[in-house]
A and B are shown apart, each in its own frame.
Chain A
Amino acid sequence: MNRLELAEKLAEQARKHGADEAEAFVMESSEVEIKIHEGQPETVNYTDSSGYGIRVLKDGKMGFASSNNLDLGEAETVISRLINYTEKHTQDEHNVLPDPVAGVSSEQVLDQFDDTLATVPVEKKIERAIAMENAAKKAEARIVQIPWVQYGDSSQQYAIFSTRGISGEARRSEAYGAVLALGMESGSDGQPDPATTQTGSGIDVKAFFEQIDPDHIGHKATSYALRMLGAGDGKTTEIEGVFPPETGFNFIKLVADMVAADLVQKKKSIFSGKLGEMVASDKVTIIDDGRMKDGLSTSSVDGEGVPTTTKDIIKDGKLNTFLYDSYTAHRAGTVSTGNALRRSFASKPFIAPSNFYMKAGKVSRDNLLAGVKDGLYVTEVSGLHASVDQVTGNFSIPSKGLIIKDGELASPVANITISGNIFDFFKGIDTVADDLTWEPREYAIGAPTFKVGNIKISGK
């Protein structure tokens, strides 16, 4: 039985057990994760798995269950338990399974999938990871260690079938490389001094194995560590802040996380009640594009089988729309934007961005910097899960950076936090450069270098 047939069988079973409507999602995935230490594999982890997730609709109640046991007899037990559980739910008229949109249900043209991930021998992947380590090692003497080198890839193939008429298959793949480099300055004895340690990480995620460039990733890690060597303690002050893509993307991601319509509708987002208002300066346009050519998060349809879309989330500073799935769209009286993501068979669809980025401006990065008399070029931000209050939008983010003096990057500073409020931060953006760069993490996210007129720094 193929994936789609199995999905259909599961949906039928749910119907038989009393569901009004049902949707089954069957996924097979294959992953490899390789960690390298000093030219040798430290861990090689192969994870091949398959399973299903099933949503049922009964009397206006929606339930979800998943399992990795594809035996239909076992599935029957899970489904009957699911129906029993679902009866306990609160009725909600907005619980819906989407109807198919004509002409797109089984279209696959946009999906990013690397067939070679299954055929490239693991030795070649190990070589690629070792090449990342070597690229980082050869940087210079002050790079004393490469404690973390990892390569991984995954291929997912899935089918979705619903009693509302959605039926189709899709697939996606991804390969990534990550290197952590450790730099130290020499102490008075000429030996590396651990008290001066700085780290730099190089990460890249691509859809295709061949796009993983070991030199690029290794160099990123070492250059990020080296530029911070000799960092002193920063001072408590207020100055201009410049955010290059490698740190600025974190702020774009904060917006991405908070424009999910479910958070907005439940008043869990700072954007609740702000539709149509200015939430950023007029220099800021933020776009979510599920159909971008060659985008890492590009796909024809989302995890509910709804076609993906392209939309301005913030246009010239004005909050234009949210990211919707079928439930939140029904509740808001609009249509889904095709932003329901399923990361695996075990997760029910949840709202997530696709290719989400801040639109580039017109000035070059150099010209942007040239205009800064006293400022901070922010090179690291960390712990955003702990340092941003999702409800108030207040943040105080541990950071590092390079002092900007009369348009030039100068000495590195550490041991500081940058604090403020998300709205003030985005309203304070006065210049956006032309260097849009993708910094993919769980999804594709991109930012150009941008400047904020005033940031609060706490330090010594």
Chain B
Amino acid sequence: MIDHELLKKALTIAIEKGADFADIYVEKAAYNYVTADDKKLRTALTVERGVGIRVVIGGRTYYAITNSFEEPAILKVAAYVRDAAGGSGNGNGVIDLREKKASWKYPFEMPPASPEIDKKVDIVKRADEGAWSTPNAVQATTSFRDHQRDILLASTLNDSIVSHTLGLTEFGVNIIAEKDGIRESGGYGKSFYAGIEALTGDCAPEKFAEKAGEIATISLTAKDCPRGEMPVVFAPGRNGILFHESCGHGMEADLVEKGTTFTGLMDQQVASPLVTLVDDGTLPGYPGSFEFDDEGTPSENTTLIEDGILKNYMHSSITAQKSKVKPTGSARRESFEFPPLPRMRNTYILAGNTDPNDIIKDTKRGLYAVEPGGGGQVNVFTGEFITSVKLGYMIEDGKLTYPVKGASIIGRGIDALRDIDLVGNDLEVHKTSGRCGKGQQVPVGIGMPTVRVKSLNVGGTGDAYEEATDE
């Protein structure tokens, strides 16, 4: 995309008044959208390119961008950031950059940058037809998005040039069904670090429609979820949002520096001994996977909590330097418009030993949370988090009974982690379709096996919850 000599020239300028390090991030991206909404098929496309230059001095970050790939524009930005950083020393002069070769094979059968759209249109039509065959469907929305980001990164941090391609295919179906004056929705989506070839077999477009239709249909007959403190059993997979919110964010090192509920607890018990939590950037095909992070550090599988003991935070090079540890390959950017931040990749807890059926059998009364709703949120400084239950079942005497809908779950991260008393042997890592937002949006994966938390505050719209009594 840009001549390596020009990258060196720009970096030389960036650090010539002194800097901890500087990097230059070059990106060329293509985004496609195909949706069927209200029975109308539409597409859209975006092509973007840009260069971002970062100078870090005394731990402070200065960043600026240009949309141009021309030498004068790039060198101008380099000088601008150098001056903004306000260094008064001298640079190291000559920069030598080694090329780091990416070994991952770019997996897209049909790259988003290609002008070919027919097969993508076909995929959306297939799912949309399936969606409208749902009984009582009054609205359906199918959306396909894919993108490709060709990246070239040169850095004085590791004196290297990395080039690779990131990409994502996102697919989801949302259905609204109406019966006897009641309207309910159901949605299902996934995203892949892969192309349209991922949407086959178990992930065929029709399957998404079936799944979304099933959620909407069951919701029509579901009762309002009771409210109050109760035991909650989480179904495996998508409910991994629980760990993403309740502890993941509080273990991102830039936030840890500011004092989250996980600050200062290294090597201490922060969760039930049944909990081993990892943030894994190496799972092939997962939305949070990549070979190098956005600073050129190789990605890895980082153990955050091992048998309940806090072992690691997620680090960028800046936070790692401050804490005198190695970066974990967690520095990510939404695009060239942003400097990187420590972020999650694919976050999940490892499988335990318990048969998931036994977990339900062992629960006298409580909530079985199946489908999460629209994401979650956390206040990392108090540890207060929220996730939601779009659809679940009440557990009575160790059996699933009637379906319930619409509840928020709130708690404090470490309290919830310590209250985990059963972990199933049925780990599922989900290729999440949503993005994680922290000023910048990045794709992540989440996962968990079946898990029981002894007590959580469930905010349902139904009656007040009554505890099971021993007969």
Interface of A with B (CB < 8 Å)?
37, 40-51, 62-70, 78, 81-82, 84-86, 88-90, 92, 122, 145, 147-148, 180, 182, 194, 197-199, 236, 265-268, 346, 348, 382-383, 385-387, 389-392, 394-398, 414-421, 456, 458-460
Contact = CB atoms under 8 A, between A and B. Distances in A.
A389 B373 contact: yes
Contacts of A122: 84
A65 B46 contact: yes
Interface string B449-470: 0000000011111001100000
Contact of A46 (B39, B80, B375): B80
B258 interface: yes
Contact of B374 (A65, A267, A386): A386
Contact of B61 (A44, A63, A90): A44
A397 B176 contact: no
Nearest to B439: A33
B259 A182 contact: yes
B66 interface: yes
Given A45-B339, A69-B49, A69-B67, A396 B460 contact: yes
Contacts of A62: 42
A417 B227 contact: yes
A78 B49 CA distance: 13
B45 A65 contact: yes
B425 interface: no
Contacts of B94: none
B183 A267 contact: yes
Given A267-B138, A415-B457, A419-B460, A46 B64 contact: yes
A46 B84 contact: yes
B41 A88 contact: yes
B115 interface: yes
Nearest to A94: B40
A394 B461 contact: yes
Q: Is the interface of A mostly helix, strand, loop or mixed?
A: strand
Nearest to B376: A386
B37 interface: yes
Contacts of A395: 461
B338 interface: yes
B234 to A, nearest CB: 15
Given A182-B381, A458-B227, A68 B67 contact: yes
B333 to A, nearest CB: 11
Contact of A417 (B377, B405, B410): B410
B69 to A, nearest CB: 9
A239 B178 CA distance: 32
A421 B45 contact: no
Contacts of B6: none
A194 B461 contact: no
A64 B139 CA distance: 23
B345 to A, nearest CB: 22
Contacts of B459: 387, 396-398, 416-419, 458
Contacts of A81: 45, 115
27 contacts: A43-B61, A43-B62, A44-B60, A63-B43, A66-B45, A66-B47, A67-B46, A82-B45, A89-B41, A148-B258, A197-B382, A199-B379, A266-B38, A383-B388, A385-B374, A386-B374, A386-B377, A386-B408, A387-B373, A391-B176, A391-B184, A398-B408, A398-B459, A415-B384, A419-B227, A421-B461, A456-B227
Interface residues of B, number: 73
Interface of B: 37-50, 59-67, 80-81, 84, 115, 117-118, 121, 138-139, 176, 178, 182-185, 224, 227-229, 258-259, 261, 337-339, 373-377, 379, 381-382, 384, 386-388, 390, 405-408, 410, 457-461, 464-465
Contacts of A47: 64-65, 337
Given A267-B183, A458-B458, A78 B45 contact: yes
A48 B65 contact: yes
Contacts of B49: 68-69
B387 A386 contact: yes
A182 B380 CA distance: 11
Nearest to B124: A88
B205 to A, nearest CB: 16
A48 to B, nearest CB: 7
A411 to B, nearest CB: 18
Contacts of A50: 67
A459 B228 CA distance: 5
Nearest to B85: A44
Contacts of A456: 227, 461
A197 B42 contact: no
Contacts of A348: 44
B338 A85 contact: no
Contacts of B39: 90
A84 B84 CA distance: 45
A382 B377 contact: yes
Given A392-B184, A456-B461, A459-B229, 17 more contacts: A44-B62, A45-B61, A45-B64, A69-B47, A69-B48, A81-B45, A89-B40, A145-B259, A182-B259, A386-B387, A387-B386, A387-B459, A391-B183, A392-B185, A395-B461, A396-B406, A416-B459
A456 B458 CA distance: 13
B81 to A, nearest CB: 8
Contact of A396 (B46, B138, B374, B408): B408
A44 B47 contact: no
B311 to A, nearest CB: 21
Contacts of A51: 48, 67
A41 B461 CA distance: 45
A390 B186 CA distance: 12
A345 to B, nearest CB: 10
Contact of B43 (A78, A86, A199): A86
Nearest to A415: B457
Contacts of A391: 176, 183-185
Contacts of A86: 43
Closest 3 A/B residue pairs (Cβ): A417-B459, A458-B227, A147-B258
